[in-house]
Amino acid sequence: MADRKNRVPDRIAIDFGTSNTVISAWNDDLGDAETLDLPGWSKTFAGDKTGESNEEVSVIPSLIHFACSGRQWIGRQVEEQDLLDAPSTVRWMKHYLAGKSPVRLNINGSSMSYFEAGDAFLRSILAQLMERCRSRGHDAEIVFTVPVEASEQYGDWIGTVAEKAGITRLRLIDEASAAALAYQVSLSPGDSFMIIDIGGGTTDVSVVAVDADLSIPSGRRCRVLGKAGDDLGGIHIDRWVVQEVRKRAGIGREADVSRGLLRACEKAKEILSFEDPVCIGRDGSVSELEEPLLFSREDLEELLDSHDFFSRIHSTIQRAMNAAISRGYTEDRIRAVVMVGGCSAIPSIQSTLRRRFGNSRVFVDRPIDAVARGAAAFAAGSGFSDHIQHDYAVKFWNSDRSSHEFRTIVKKGTPYPSTGPVATLRIRGTYEGQTQFGIPVYEIGENGGRRGEGDLEIVADSSGSMRLIGMQTRIDEGRARFWMNENNPTFIVADPPAALNEARFELTFGIDSNRRLLVTSRDMKTGAMLTRDHPVARLI
């Protein structure tokens, strides 16, 4: 049996981060998301053992090295090849991309932008994922997470990268929404919540509100009420631990810091989130230490306090809150505080925030992979409100235009479960003796214009495809369309066979609580009810 951890379902989420990139996929059997491992590129972090889960979390370091030979080294490969500080290694790509940096890098004598480096990094990952999906005989639906305040240019760039990689189904979701979905925070339109991201180099606090406007593009469900940041993160803590260890070991300030000591202190910081105390240098990897040094959580907490870490966190939170307050959102209106980023696993940081906001409002079980897992849940249909997120249409043949077109049967924003029919269609026979009538249902993407409106009847041609009788209602050509029931087509059988132009079937559509599109079909000739609430496809 294949290792479930390495199994790649169709719905895959990518959280492209400044320090690490996390990939998660939805597993229908488990009803949950799984973090994926790409062998050779990924490394693992221990799960949050302070909670119920002891899972390891796979991440890909956001690193790419361009060798003179043309070969590219990705993620963990860069670290293992000791190429982290090499001139042709690119890191912190997302930071520069989000800031639209015009800086160009000298890579083996050639000029390269951060956009080009990021393109190479992400396309390498997408190629691996596509190959896995092909081996299963499936296509991939990819969801990328983007910062709440990301520019349209950033989202367009992600779309271009995906298109170059051959991705035909792409969605975006803001990181705040994804994190909230991962923690299953109960939110309604208008509710506000806070995202605290304490990562490798920065602390970012965003106060966001769930937007009540269903006309905004799917995935862009949050708007920023207040935002603040500080250059404060894991690399600063590592530096402080190094300084403290050198001080205890009697190492002079002028002495160089070995890479072994830096890595040992970084590892000690991570382990202290789950074990107490930790022994630095016990494996002999730190040349500066004559004997191992014991370091405790209390030592780390005192170190953080002495460098004003906690006060700076509170100050950053308050600056973000001040902006939200100016928009009418006070701190007591914050429904949830969602913590992400590797440093959010440090117990003293969690305790500090729980004292401020209370235990019930602070969510911190999965700080490393919450955003990716929430994005995978979004791909599977999870959302903040019980509304359909896309338009859905039936494909028909327009005999006047001699082309296939689409009639909308479910509009974006339709609540579910429906209290009555969301659409009613009549089907006519297109030739004498027709026995099968097809119902091809398509999801209509966002990249297009408005649809025409009007009443009409749908008829089926000899192949079972639909065609139009009456006024025209169609989807603009620029919009992406995905056949929802291609692998499980729905057919209605006419017995006795239908006559040419005979108004033979009446179809009514509804949506159940599981977002399934249901069809009820009545034979207008015999009066027989052929199907009642028959599931056609699951909507999103």
pLDDT tens track for 280-312: 877 766 767 777 888 899 999 999 999 999 999
DSSP 134-200: HHTT---EEEEEE-TT--HHHHHHHHHHHHHTT--EEEEEEHHHHHHHHTT----TT-EEEEEEE-S
Domains of the chain by range and CATH? 4-183 (3.30.420.40), 185-362 (3.30.420.40), 391-538 (2.60.34)
pLDDT value at 463 more than 80 = no
Stronger pLDDT, 276 or 263, i.e. the higher one: 276
Query: pLDDT tier at 31 (50, 70, 90 boundaries)?
Result: confident
Model confidence pLDDT, tens digit, residues 96-123: 887 788 889 999 999 999 999 999 999 9
- DSSP, res 419: S
Query: pLDDT tier at 450 (50, 70, 90 boundaries)?
Result: very low
Handedness of CA 56, 58, 62, 64 (dihedral sign): positive
Model confidence pLDDT, tens digit, residues 199-219: 877 788 889 887 765 444 444
Mean pLDDT of 23-39: 89
Report field, pTM of the whole predicted structure over 0.95? no
Mean pLDDT of 124-151: 84
Kindly list the distances between the CA atom of residue 470 and the CA atoms of 399, 453, 455, 480, in Å, as whole numbers in the listed order.
11, 12, 7, 25
Q: What is the mean pLDDT of the chain?
A: 81
- DSSP, res 333: G
Stronger pLDDT, 41 or 31, i.e. the higher one: 41
